[in-house]
Structure formats: structure tokens, C-alpha cells
Amino acid sequence: MGGGWPLTMGRGVAKDSLVPAGGGAGRVDNSSLEAGMADGAIVAGERVLITGGAGFIGTSLARRLLEENEVVVFDNFHRDALSRSGLRGHRNLRVIEGDVLDAAAVASAMDSVTMVVHLAAVAGVDTVIKQPTRTMRVNIIGTYHVLEAAIAHGKLKRFIDFSTSEVFGTHAYNASEGEATVLGAVGEARWTYAVSKLATEHMALTYWKEFDLPALSIRPFNIYGPGQVGEGAIHHFIVRALDGRPLEVHNDGSQIRAWCYVDDIVEGICLALSSPDAPGHAFNIGNPRSTLTIYNLAREIIELAGSDSQIVFVPWNFPDVELRIPNIDKARRILGYEPRVDLEDGLARTIAWYRAQRESGRREQ
Ligand SMILES: NC(=O)c1ccc[n+]([C@@H]2O[C@H](COP(=O)([O-])OP(=O)(O)OC[C@H]3O[C@@H](n4cnc5c(N)ncnc54)[C@H](O)[C@@H]3O)[C@@H](O)[C@H]2O)c1
């Protein structure tokens, strides 16, 4: 899949120009970045492998990186946000259809890249509950393959592993990275995801310690925004609100989440790629300001979408996360990360995107 390597590199930027950003002495002039990304991290002149790059976050990250870097997307297209992104055919994009369970394919995709963002995973609570064994295989064995290829490569400047806020268990208020993680009850399929992701965090950090791989982990807290595929409450609510269908809220809707707009996590990833102090850490990336109950989220979306939809409460007999709000002080301190898009603004942008998709005939499910 995909074409040969493009010959262009990002606008004459030096290959080694990793510029720390986001505060103190590392703050830089970012006037070359797109409007709205003032003060954003600069990653330029790199060749970045994004496993899972056809997914929601991966496609948004590819969009951000493509003008100034070459990007290799490696994905089995279990989910696909890339194909409708308009990025296919970009001169700096190479797409490889492959599976992280195929060690040889992973090693070959890593050939001559300078950085790796490992997003490929089985994610989404409904999928995880239906496929717990596949979740553990892909997330643990797949990550093992990517890490082994990374140390065989030997010259990577950065390796980002993707963990999850689920490692904090069912109640996490102002949760910071140093707190104990929670594994959940054995036999509950939902927790296979958190356990698998926690294993990848341990692996990434031990590969950093033992093999000098410049690795770190990111724990995303409830990401939403344009281009989301698969699952997620905001995706579900907006699609139904625009259709005038009922919005289904699990149990009484009192679960509390902090929602992070996709541009903010993309910025967090770019900071983690460019900050010299990032390796050897795990970082919470989220937006603690954008916190509300699931019921209030549904109401807010109905109002912002101008919808007549009703809210219905459906029983959900699986363990759920009742409270999840990150502490992001460590990411602020080390990366200079600061979420910028508040919930109302982010929801309005997201609703506008879904509405435009509908008008162009691409209806989400
Ligand atoms: N979106 C969130 O709120 C959130 C929260 C916590 C963690 N994460 C993590 O962030 C990463 C990206 O999440 P996302 O929301 O973009 O999910 P996504 O499902 O949209 O993207 C994951 C991508 O991985 C690909 N993939 C799955 N199995 C694969 C395999 N065996 N080989 C190759 N590719 C495979 C899928 O096709 C998909 O394109 C994942 O690791 C996820 O666990 C996301």
C-alpha cells in the first residue's frame, strides 16, 4: 500500500532541529505554524512512524506533522479516519497496511524513521468487552514487537507509547502520575484494556532504562473532536443529536469525565516529541477544566446542536469509571503542556464537523 518515499523534506528545516517548546528558556517563535497553534511545539525535518496512524488521534497527528515532516502510517485499518481526511496522496505521507502482530512488517516499517508514535491498539470499551483476548494480544504483543524493532533500529530520537487514564481505575480525582495504578478485578473484560496498557507503560520505561531507548508514555484522558471513529460518548451523542434520535446514557449518567479536545493532545504529543526531558516519564494529557457528568454532557450537546433529541437512561451492567479528572502539573512542568480548547468551544467545532460530514453525504453511525 502507499507509494514510494517522497523526496521532499519539510521546508528546508535542518534534520536535527528538535526545538524544545512551551515555557522558560525553551519557548520559541512559532510564527510558521498554522493559525491557532501559536506557541505550539515544533517538530520538523523528521520521519515519524505512527502505528495506528489511520485512527482518530493518529490522523489528527499526521495532519499536524505532514507539512514539516515525513510521516509513515502503519495500520491494519480495523478503524479508518485517514481515508476521509483528505490526507491520502500527500507528498510527505506513506501508508503501510500492516498489523503490529506481524513483527517483520513492524521492523520493515521502522526502517529509516527517526521517531515512533505507537498508537495502534484495540480500544473502546465496547470492543474491549467483546474482544478481551484480542485486546491483550494486540496491545501487549503488538507493543512488544514495536519496542523490539525500536531497539534493533538503534537510532530513534523518540518513542512514544500510548497508555490510558484507565490505569487509575474507577475513581481518579486530580490523579497524578506518581499515584498507584489500579488493575481492576480479574475476569472483568473491561480491565484487560487497562492491564494491557499498563504493561506497555512498564515495557516502554524499562526499555528506556535498560536499552537507552528514548521512550515515554502518554495517558490520554477522554479525547474527542472531529474525525473520531469507533466509540466514545461524544461521538455517540453528536451523531444521534444531529439525527434527532435518543441519546443513550448509561445508568443514571452521573459518571464524571474531563474531556480533552483532539488538538490539545496532538500538541501534547508534539511537545513530547520535541522536549529533551520527556523520555523516561509517563504523562497525563487531558483538560481538567472541561469536566462534567455524562448526563450534563448529553444536555450540552443537545443544546449546542439545536436538537430535539431525548435522553434515555439504559442499564449498563459492566464496571464503569465513576470519576476521572487528571492532574496535568507534570506535563505542564516538563513539557510546557497547557490545554487550550474549552469544552463548549470544542463541542461546537466537533458538531460543526459532523454536520459538514452529513451534508457531504458521509453519515457516521
Ligand atoms: N481516544 C481516547 O480518548 C483515548 C484514551 C486513552 C487512550 N487512548 C489510546 O490512544 C491510542 C489512539 O486512540 P484513538 O482514539 O485514535 O483510537 P482508534 O481506534 O481511532 O485508533 C487506533 C488505530 O489502531 C489501529 N489498529 C488496531 N489494531 C491494530 C493492529 N493489530 N495493527 C495495526 N493497527 C491496529 C486501528 O485500525 C486504528 O486505526 C490508542 O492506543 C488508545 O488506546 C485513546
Residue 252 has pLDDT above 60, yes or no: yes
Confidence of residue 364 (pLDDT cuts 50, 70, 90): low
* Catalytic residue, candidates 193, 207, 337, 354: 193
Q: How far is the CA of 56 from the centre of ligand 1 (A)?
A: 7
Confidence of residue 39 (pLDDT cuts 50, 70, 90): low
Residue to mutate, 79, 118, 297, ligand 1, most ligand atoms under 8 Å from C-beta: 79
Residue 365 has pLDDT above 60, yes or no: no
Ligand 1 pocket residues where CB is under 6 Å = 52, 54-58, 75-79, 99-101, 119-123, 138, 142, 162, 164-165, 220, 222-223, 229-230
Distance CA 250, CA 255 (A): 9
pLDDT tens digits for range 89-118: 999 999 999 999 999 999 999 999 999 999
Q: Calculate mean pLDDT across residues 353-363.
A: 86
| CA atoms in the 13 A half-sphere facing the CB of 64 | 26
Contacts for 352 with CB less than 8 Å, ≥ 6 apart: none
Distance CA 113, CA 150 (A): 10
CATH code for residues 10-224+261-287+324-340:
3.40.50.720
Residue 337 annotated among the catalytic residues of the structure: no
For the chain, domain boundaries: 10-224+261-287+324-340
Confidence of residue 202 (pLDDT cuts 50, 70, 90): very high
- Continuous segment of H or E residues that includes residue 198: helix 190-211
* Beta-ladder partners of 71: 48, 93
